[in-house]
């Protein structure tokens, strides 16, 4: 699955603060026997996909045949990297979850949207009560204003990605209407419209 216009990577990142630490991506085998959990937190920077690939390989080696679930808590970062990771999770049949008290915003949302079930090929992404999923419109990596041409290209790439991961047109509208400096948090109705269950906090992975 190829993203249209790889030059998007130069245009559609969230503004990442100078000196931002890379995301913490770690396998956690101590909190579930039915699945291999992977914790992802912190700022999503370019090249995080390589770390994701490594931890998925580690999970499959240590627990062959067990499903893998990424447990997310990140304010976002590089949007293009988030999309690439989201598509990787979708292709590999890896689930995603936002636990109680966690926030998954911006590029983290793109990772979350990619959650899928390896057996059925259908979306496998869950928000637990107390977790928040935030979206907004993309911006240039340098924080400047997009030209009309850049804006059209970025929006086209975002729409293509959101269609690939089965996000409703209503939620896509919220993505494109929310300015980069703001954040829209999906409601229970928004989640239901994109096949994202909202589950009890008591059912969440203990991490």
Contact 45, 78 (CB under 8 A): yes
Task: With a cut of 80, say whether residue 14 has pLDDT above it.
Answer: no
Which pLDDT does position 5 carry in this prediction?
47
Can you tell me the mean pLDDT for 135-152?
Answer: 73
Average pLDDT of the chain is: 88
Give the chain's radius of gyration (CA, Å). 16
Task: With a cut of 90, say whether residue 124 has pLDDT above it.
Answer: yes
Task: With a cut of 60, say whether residue 2 has pLDDT above it.
Answer: no
> Two tokens at 99?
């636990």
List the one residue out of 49, 70, 21, 201 whose CA is nearest residue 129. 201
Can you tell me the mean pLDDT for 3-7?
Answer: 48
The per-residue DSSP string of 25-60 comes to EEEE-SS-SSSEEEEEESBB-TTHHHHHHHHHHHHH
Contact 133, 106 (CB under 8 A): no
Task: With a cut of 50, say whether residue 40 has pLDDT above it.
Answer: yes
d(CA 76, CA 101) in angstroms, rounded, equals 16
pTM of the full predicted structure? 0.90
Which pLDDT does position 15 carry in this prediction?
46
User: Percent of the chain scored above 70 by pLDDT?
Assistant: 86
Which pLDDT does position 140 carry in this prediction?
64
* Superfamily of domain covering 22-198: 2-enoyl-CoA Hydratase; Chain A, domain 1 (3.90.226.10)
Which pLDDT does position 10 carry in this prediction?
39
Which pLDDT does position 16 carry in this prediction?
53
* Number of Cα atoms under 13 Å in the Cβ half of residue 176: 18
Task: With a cut of 90, say whether residue 12 has pLDDT above it.
Answer: no
Task: With a cut of 80, say whether residue 150 has pLDDT above it.
Answer: no
């Amino acid at each position: 699955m190829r993203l249209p216009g790889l030059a998007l990577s130069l245009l559609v990142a969230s503004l990442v603060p100078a000196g931002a630490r890379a995301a913490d991506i770690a396998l956690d085998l101590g909190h579930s026997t039915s699945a291999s959990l992977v914790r992802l937190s912190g700022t999503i920077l370019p090249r995080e996909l390589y770390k994701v690939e490594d931890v998925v390989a580690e999970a499959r080696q240590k627990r062959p045949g067990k499903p893998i679930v990424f447990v997310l808590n990140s304010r976002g970062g590089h949007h293009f990297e988030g999309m690439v990771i989201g598509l990787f999770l979708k292709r590999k049949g890896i689930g995603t979850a936002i636990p109680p008290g966690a926030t998954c915003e911006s590029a983290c949302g793109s990772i979350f949207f990619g959650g899928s079930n390896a057996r059925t090929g259908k979306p496998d992404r869950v928000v637990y009560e107390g977790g928040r999923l935030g979206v907004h419109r993309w911006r240039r990596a340098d924080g400047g204003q997009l030209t009309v041409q850049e804006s059209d290209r970025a929006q086209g790439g975002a729409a293509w990605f959101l269609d690939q991961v089965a996000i409703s047109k209503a939620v896509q509208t919220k993505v494109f209407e929310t300015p980069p400096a703001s954040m829209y948090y999906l409601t229970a109705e928004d989640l239901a419209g994109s096949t994202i269950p909202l589950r009890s906090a008591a059912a969440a992975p203990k991490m």
